Amino acid sequence: TAQPLKLHALDDLKVETDGGVQWEAQKKDGSFLAKGPNPATATHTITGKTTVANVTALRLDVLADKSLPASGPGRVAHGNFVLNEMIVEVSPTPDFANARKLDFAGAKADFEQVDRPWKAAGVIDGKEETGWAIAPQFGKDHWAIFGLKEPLAVDGSVFIRIQLRQLYGQQHTIGRFKLSLQTGIEPSITLPENIQKLLAVKLDQRSAEQKQQLLDYFSSLEPATKNLVKQLDDLKKKESPKPELTVRVVLQRTKDPRKTFVFRRGEFLEPLTEQEVVPAGFSTLPPMTPRDEKTAMADRLDLARWLVSPEDPPSMTSASAANGRLIRNCSIGWRRSLWANLE
């Protein structure tokens, strides 16, 4: 079950800005209001800690306030601002001696200035000449969400340091803001591009490989399976090479293959032409696919490979079930010819 989107406040939150700017905490909503000097450029450093596991994004709310020019949310005369860069680091200790920088996957905002490269994605692209702005929607609340490339794993608690860099100049700085952590999956910004493309494919049109890629990805995000997936990957790396099977392909009709039909008991000369039988695996087991993509149906060699496939986790179940059916329903000669393919 997908985790619902939820916002979390940082604990022990502190805000510092160069240029003598002071911040007044707003108890009613957890935001901070700028006071004092308004420098041409500014770098805001926010520190705090959290015990919230699997943080997937950071949300920045920039808020209007009557004390700001044109009601803000920026401090320049017309109320705009430009946020050029956001840098986020986490550390097990408050001194950030062993800080680790977090990578972002994407960003979105409720509104973005369109006449220049002032998009929310510009805040996380590593370029100081891009960023997020909101002209001409001044005097209104706005928000931007920045999705992490990987969920933040927290063992107990972790310290977080966030830098908001405003380098445009001319006092285009933020006047009031609120910063929150977000959990839950928001596909447009927290999922890799290849996973987004797979999700865009209709469920009934996804191939087995695409379904497996989605399963592998989302399994790696779940706390209950993440460690197990890592252990499995480590074991696969240590696994010895699998022996190559030599196979002998039995001569078969590749053109105009003979059709097979159901017969009435005791009437082997009168097939029921409306009940054609085609090669296939049991519907309750993993699918058996032809080794040749151009071939519509699997053959006996495909069946033999399916029975012993190392890529199929329940292969022993498949083999046991298939053997039982073969013993009950097929002749000894037919069974021998099947297993001869693996000699």
Could you read off the pLDDT of 252-284 as tens digits, one per residue? 555 667 788 888 888 878 888 888 887 777 777
Domain extents in the chain: 6-190, 193-238, 260-342
Q: Which amino acid is at 203?
A: L
The pLDDT-based confidence of 230 (bands split at 50, 70, 90) is confident
Cα–Cα distance measured from residue 341 to residue 308, given in angstroms and rounded to the nearest whole number: 12
Cα 35 to chain center, whole Å? 40
Amino acid 3: pLDDT: 66
Query: Hey, which of 193-207, 230-244, 300-314 has the most confident mean pLDDT?
Result: 193-207
Q: Give the pTM.
A: 0.62
Least confident of 101-110, 135-144, 328-337: 328-337
6-190: what CATH class? Answer: mainly beta
Write the DSSP assignment of 25-66 as a string of letters.
Answer: EETTTTEEEEES---SSEEEEEEEEE--SSEEEEEEEE---T
Tokens of 245: 């099977």
The pLDDT tens digits for 65-75 are: 999 999 999 99
Residues 136 and 96: beta-carbon distance below 8 Å: no
Of 62, 68, 155, residue with least CA distance to 112: 62
Q: Is 186 helix (H, G, I), strand (E, B) or coil?
A: coil
Q: How far, CA to CA in Å, does 308 sit from each of 225, 288, 303? A: 27, 12, 9
Could you list the beta-strand ranges (E) of 92-134. Answer: 100-101, 104-109
Phi and psi (nearest 5°) for 164? -110, 115
Amino acid 37: pLDDT: 94
Phi and psi (nearest 5°) for 310? -75, -15
Amino acid 343: pLDDT: 45
Cα–Cα distance measured from residue 231 to residue 223, given in angstroms and rounded to the nearest whole number: 13
Amino acid 187: pLDDT: 72
Percent of the chain residues past pLDDT 90, beyond the cut: 46
Residues 128-152: what's their mean pLDDT? 94
The pLDDT tens digits for 176-194 are: 999 999 998 877 676 777 8
β-strands 158-166, 85-91 pairing: antiparallel
Residues 207-213: what's their mean pLDDT? 88
Q: DSSP code of 121?
A: G
The tokens 């890799």 sit on which residue?
192
